[in-house]
């Protein structure tokens, strides 16, 4: 179910539990600012999630409240993960869903890195969209 990204941070969300090691995940990258792990239900041959270590609901929350160091560390981590996975030359897509219209499901900011095949246009076209 899509979440309301304007709600306060809920430390019982699944990615908070992953950060605390209460739910298993396979580390792809880990540093002071960010943790990356494979999406459990991949939409592309490569589908990695990168999450900040701090308690931020969404991109809106993060961009408004995070420190410059957290923002720099997180953005650099996303770039590093994609580079380390060999995705720069073939290309990749970043998605950060925020709020109901985006279909955000987990209320802890995450950036999806999608790659491994030609991904086509950005969105499926709908009549009237
Ligand atoms: P979003 O719709 O942007 O909130 O994306 C949430 C993503 O989290 C989905 O792509 C899920 O497949 C993924 N996900 C949910 N639970 C887990 C988990 N335990 N480990 C890895 N990915 C997960």
What's the CATH number where 47 sits? 3.30.428.10
Q: How many domains does the chain have?
A: 1
Query: Which residue range(s) make up the domain with 24?
Result: 14-115
- Position 87 in a domain: yes
Catalytic-residue membership of 110? yes
Name the CA dihedral angle for 19, 42, 10, 12, rounded to a multiple of 10 degrees.
-60
Task: Determine the residue of 98, 106, 112 to mutate for testing ligand 1's pocket, defined as the one with the most ligand atoms within 8 A of the Cβ atom.
Answer: 106
pLDDT-derived band at 5 (thresholds 50, 70, 90) equals confident
Cβ(14) – ligand 1 distance below 6 Å: yes
Cβ(41) – ligand 1 distance below 6 Å: yes
- Position 99 in a domain: yes
- Position 121 in a domain: no
pLDDT of residue 57: 98
Coarse DSSP helix, strand, coil percentages of the chain, rounded to the nearest 5 percent: 25, 20, 55
- Position 7 in a domain: no
Asked if the model's pLDDT at residue 125 lies above 90, the reply is no
pLDDT-derived band at 3 (thresholds 50, 70, 90) equals confident
- Position 104 in a domain: yes
| Alpha carbon distance 113, 47 (integer Å) | 6
Would you put residue 86 in left (φ > 0), alpha (ψ -120 to 50) or beta? left
Cβ(44) – ligand 1 distance below 6 Å: no
Q: Which of 103, 110, 112, 126 is catalytic?
A: 110
Q: Which residue has the higher pLDDT, 4 or 67?
A: 67
pLDDT-derived band at 6 (thresholds 50, 70, 90) equals confident
pLDDT of residue 59: 97
Name the CA dihedral angle for 120, 124, 125, 127, rounded to a multiple of 10 degrees.
170
Mean pLDDT for the chain?
Answer: 95
Condensed to tens digits (0 to 9), the pLDDT of residues 19-51 reads: 999 999 999 999 999 999 999 999 999 999 999
- Position 92 in a domain: yes
- Position 56 in a domain: yes
Q: Which atom of ligand 1 is nearest to the CA of 3?
A: 4
Condensed to tens digits (0 to 9), the pLDDT of residues 91-115 reads: 999 999 999 999 999 999 999 999 9
pLDDT of residue 101: 94
Task: Determine the residue of 14, 20, 39, 107 to mutate for testing ligand 1's pocket, defined as the one with the most ligand atoms within 8 A of the Cβ atom.
Answer: 39
């Amino acid at each position: 179910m899509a979440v309301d990204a304007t709600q306060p941070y809920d430390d019982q969300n699944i990615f908070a539990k992953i950060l605390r090691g209460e739910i298993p995940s396979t580390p792809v990258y880990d540093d002071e600012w960010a943790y990356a792990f494979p999406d459990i239900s991949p939409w592309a041959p490569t589908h990695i999630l990168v999450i900040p270590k701090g308690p931020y609901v969404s991109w809106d929350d993060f961009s408004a409240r995070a420190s410059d160091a957290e923002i720099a560390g997180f953005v650099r981590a996303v770039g590093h993960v994609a580079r380390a996975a060999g995705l720069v030359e073939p290309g990749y897509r970043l998605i950060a869903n925020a709020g109901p219209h985006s279909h955000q499901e987990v209320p802890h900011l995450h950036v999806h890195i999608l790659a491994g095949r030609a991904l086509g246009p950005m969105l499926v076209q709908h009549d009237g969209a």
